[in-house]
């Protein structure tokens, strides 16, 4: 292919992307097989690798033998339907969340199939109605909360997320049994895979969790790293080496006993935070904060519930409520813009509130159930 042809194709794909982002909510999307989707949310731009759009929301309009269904997933753009196969997406698991293939020309009779075997419907932009419907905006935009109510709502949602994480870990602890041939106790067998998975947030969580399970002696199939590579990416490899270093350091006293002493110590919350960060050295401060807020503090609350230890539960909650903001990510940026916040929240709990609202209602655009758009506190 000549450089000019590559440039023309790139320009055409950027045109498809431009047309997609211009579509208003409730635009009807005719599919190649005769069905129709209703566009509820265009999604967010994808990263440098993987699908072009993340977390789009589509409604499957019912046929006589089919009920109405709502889908949340990725969207991929191509000039021609056959480009899906030319680019090798049918063998790439990164494209297993694609729910719609948006193209200009329907030039292939082959079904657009993902790596997991699912068939992705094709939608040609040439079949779209013109002009798109005008959007009235989302309920949270039409009836925005006052500043004080927004803070109270995010605090409530942040605590809800903390309690959900704690409850999930509590259930995992109940099911975890110590292994007679392992140096790790039941707490460590539950905690270490959770920490490993936290190292994979934003990366390949399934791969990291499987590694964590193997480290504590549990059987787990290690999936291939995402993408067309046989070994983990350099960043993932560094995190795995750090995980191994931490496990080696904690073998003597146990991971949970080491961290528990820090959480329950009679110190100021700021001192406890610094001590927890030091315990995770040489992890970066940003990744340490992610693990502390999302795993260690909820695990402390779960352990407290298992042991009926009110003092430990109170300490975990206090540290969580005082924790400063984590690094910004796609969800916090998206939700801050959606709620028209002047700045991203400066407390981790409020950021977690954004995550909770996004995952519970905003991701699937279930506005009738949303704390910020439907029911109010």
In a domain, 47, yes or no: yes
Backbone angles phi and psi of 99, in degrees to 5: -115, -10
CB count in 10 Å sphere of residue 256: 23
Single out the residue in 92, 127, 162 at which a domain terminates: 127
Say whether pLDDT at 55 is over 50. yes
- The phi-psi region of residue 92 (left if phi > 0; otherwise alpha if psi is between -120 and 50; otherwise beta) is beta
Q: Which two tokens stand for residue 239?
A: 């995190």
> How far apart are the C-alpha atoms of 377 and 358, rounded to whole Å?
17
The whole-number pLDDT of residue 230 equals: 67
Q: How confident is the model at residue 133 (pLDDT cuts 50, 70, 90)?
A: very low
Q: In this structure, are 326 and 195 located in the same domain?
A: yes
Kindly tell me the sign of the dihedral angle through the C-alpha atoms of 243, 245, 248, 249: negative
Average pLDDT, whole number, for the chain? 88
Residues 6+ apart with CB under 8 A from 116: 93, 96
In a domain, 376, yes or no: no
For residues 64 and 197, the model is more confident at: 197
In a domain, 42, yes or no: yes
Provide the percentage of residues in the chain whose pLDDT is more than 90: 59
Section 135-147 average pLDDT: 78
Say whether pLDDT at 100 is over 90. yes
Q: In this structure, are 121 and 203 located in the same domain?
A: no
Q: In this structure, are 66 and 148 located in the same domain?
A: no
Ranges assigned E (strand) in the chain: 28-30, 36-41, 44-45, 53-60, 69-80, 98-105, 112-113, 119-120, 122-124
Q: In this structure, are 102 and 217 located in the same domain?
A: no
Q: In this structure, are 288 and 156 located in the same domain?
A: yes
- The phi-psi region of residue 258 (left if phi > 0; otherwise alpha if psi is between -120 and 50; otherwise beta) is alpha
Say whether pLDDT at 222 is over 90. no
Q: In this structure, are 263 and 231 located in the same domain?
A: yes
The whole-number pLDDT of residue 145 equals: 86
CB-based contact 343:351 (threshold 8 Å): no
Cα–Cα nearest to 21, from 52, 42, 48 = 42
The whole-number pLDDT of residue 170 equals: 97
Q: In this structure, are 73 and 29 located in the same domain?
A: yes
Single out the residue in 104, 127, 150 at which a domain terminates: 127
The whole-number pLDDT of residue 375 equals: 47
In a domain, 284, yes or no: yes
Looking at the DSSP bridge assignments, the partners of residue 41 are 57
3 state SS of 352? helix
Q: In this structure, are 46 and 189 located in the same domain?
A: no
Q: In this structure, are 116 and 189 located in the same domain?
A: no
For residues 218 and 301, the model is more confident at: 301
In a domain, 136, yes or no: no
Kindly tell me the sign of the dihedral angle through the C-alpha atoms of 222, 227, 233, 239: negative
In a domain, 290, yes or no: yes
Q: In this structure, are 245 and 286 located in the same domain?
A: yes
DSSP state of 247: H
Provide the percentage of residues in the chain whose pLDDT is more than 70: 90
Q: How many domains does the chain have?
A: 2
Q: Is 308 exposed, middle or buried (0-12, 13-18, 19+ CB in 10 A)?
A: exposed
In a domain, 134, yes or no: no
The whole-number pLDDT of residue 66 equals: 58
3 state SS of 347? strand
Backbone angles phi and psi of 230, in degrees to 5: -100, -10
Single out the residue in 127, 157, 178 at which a domain terminates: 127
CB-based contact 312:302 (threshold 8 Å): no
Backbone angles phi and psi of 70, in degrees to 5: -115, 130
The whole-number pLDDT of residue 229 equals: 65
CB count in 10 Å sphere of residue 236: 19
Structural domain harbouring 188: 142-369
Q: In this structure, are 180 and 284 located in the same domain?
A: yes
In a domain, 374, yes or no: no
The whole-number pLDDT of residue 1 equals: 44
Q: In this structure, are 16 and 63 located in the same domain?
A: yes
């Amino acid at each position: 292919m000549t450089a000019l042809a590559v440039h023309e194709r790139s320009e055409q794909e950027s045109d498809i992307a431009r047309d997609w982002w211009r579509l208003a909510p409730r635009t009807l999307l005719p599919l190649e097989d005769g069905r129709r989707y209703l566009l509820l949310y265009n999604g967010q731009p994808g990263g440098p690798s993987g699908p072009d759009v993340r977390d789009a929301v589509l409604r499957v309009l019912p046929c006589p033998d089919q009920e109405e269904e709502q889908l949340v997933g990725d969207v991929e753009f191509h000039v021609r339907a056959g480009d899906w196969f030319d680019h090798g997406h049918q063998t790439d698991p990164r494209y297993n969340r694609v729910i719609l293939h948006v193209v200009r020309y329907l030039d292939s009779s082959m079904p657009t199939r993902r790596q997991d075997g699912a068939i992705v419907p094709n939608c040609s932009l040439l079949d779209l109605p013109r002009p798109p419907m005008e959007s009235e905006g989302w309920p949270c935009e039409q009836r925005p909360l006052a500043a004080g109510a927004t803070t109270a709502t995010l605090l409530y949602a942040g605590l809800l997320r903390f309690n959900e994480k704690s409850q999930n870990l509590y259930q995992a602890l109940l099911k975890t049994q110590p292994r007679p041939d392992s140096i790790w106790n039941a707490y460590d067998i539950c905690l270490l895979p959770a920490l490993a998975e936290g190292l994979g947030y934003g990366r390949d969580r399934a791969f990291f969790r499987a590694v964590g399970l193997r480290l504590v002696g549990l059987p787990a199939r290690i999936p291939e790293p995402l993408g067309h590579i046989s070994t983990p990416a350099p960043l993932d490899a560094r995190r795995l080496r750090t995980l191994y270093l931490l496990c080696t350091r904690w073998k003597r006293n146990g991971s949970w006993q080491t961290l528990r002493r820090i959480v329950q110590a009679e110190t100021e919350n700021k001192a406890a935070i610094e001590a927890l960060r030091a315990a995770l050295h040489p992890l970066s401060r940003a990744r340490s904060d992610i693990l502390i807020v999302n795993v260690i503090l909820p695990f402390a609350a779960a352990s407290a519930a298992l042991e009926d230890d009110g003092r430990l539960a109170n300490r975990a909650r206090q540290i969580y409520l005082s924790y400063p903001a984590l690094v910004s990510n796609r969800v916090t940026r998206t939700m801050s813009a959606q709620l028209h916040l002047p700045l991203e929240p400066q407390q981790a709990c409020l950021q977690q509130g954004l995550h909770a609202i996004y995952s519970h209602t905003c991701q699937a655009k279930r506005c009738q159930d949303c704390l910020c758009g439907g029911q109010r506190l």
